A = this chain, B = another copy of it.
């Protein structure tokens, strides 16, 4: 994980939300550790490995302190991977955490949130600390022990987040 001197995580650019009553911003989630899980619904590594892991994360930690946010960063098949298909996918796979749809790319295939985070592909796991700082960026899959530990390290920074010197 990156040190606490890391930069602030960029805002999201969202076309549509699922599993959220209203749009969610990083500002809204300040005070919580945020797990940002970027996926595509037809990416095999996402469907078989990282999405089940995101579900285990959501079950393992207290939602009062941790938010799991999915983001569908479609960079290959925007024409057919519509929000209507994603709605079916979310229901069939019983995903319960909020899921954002990244906006279409403006000047190319890469959608803007994916660009803002300099993601190399899917799946990508991003950890953002209680103050909104980007602390971990992992392209591909990581084992549960590493991910569970990294989340816990950020959760343990709770008291420090009230530190007035920062």
Q: Which residues of A contact B (CB under 8 A)?
A: 41-44, 47-48, 52, 56-57, 60-61, 76-77, 79-82, 84-85, 87-89, 92-94, 143-153, 155-157
Tally of this chain's copies: 4
Main DSSP-derived SS at the A contact region: helix
* CB proximity of A67 to chain B, nearest CB, Å: 16
Residues on B with beta carbons closer than 8 Å to the beta carbon of A77: 88
Among residues of B, the one whose C-beta sits closest to the C-beta of A82 is B80
Roughly how many angstroms separate A27 CA and B151 CA in the complex, as a whole number? 30
- Contact A146-B148, Cβ < 8 Å, known A80-B85, A156-B156: yes
* CB proximity of A104 to chain B, nearest CB, Å: 16
Among residues of B, the one whose C-beta sits closest to the C-beta of A90 is B42
Contacts A147-B148, A152-B152 given; 5 further ones with Cβ under 8 A?
A42-B88, A42-B92, A44-B94, A48-B48, A153-B155
Residues on B with beta carbons closer than 8 Å to the beta carbon of A143: 56, 60, 144
* CB proximity of A18 to chain B, nearest CB, Å: 14
Residues on B with beta carbons closer than 8 Å to the beta carbon of A157: 156
Residues on B with beta carbons closer than 8 Å to the beta carbon of A79: 84
Between-chain CB contacts (< 8 Å), 15 pairs: A42-B88, A42-B89, A42-B92, A42-B93, A43-B92, A44-B94, A56-B143, A56-B145, A60-B149, A80-B82, A80-B84, A80-B87, A81-B88, A149-B149, A153-B155
* CB proximity of A51 to chain B, nearest CB, Å: 9
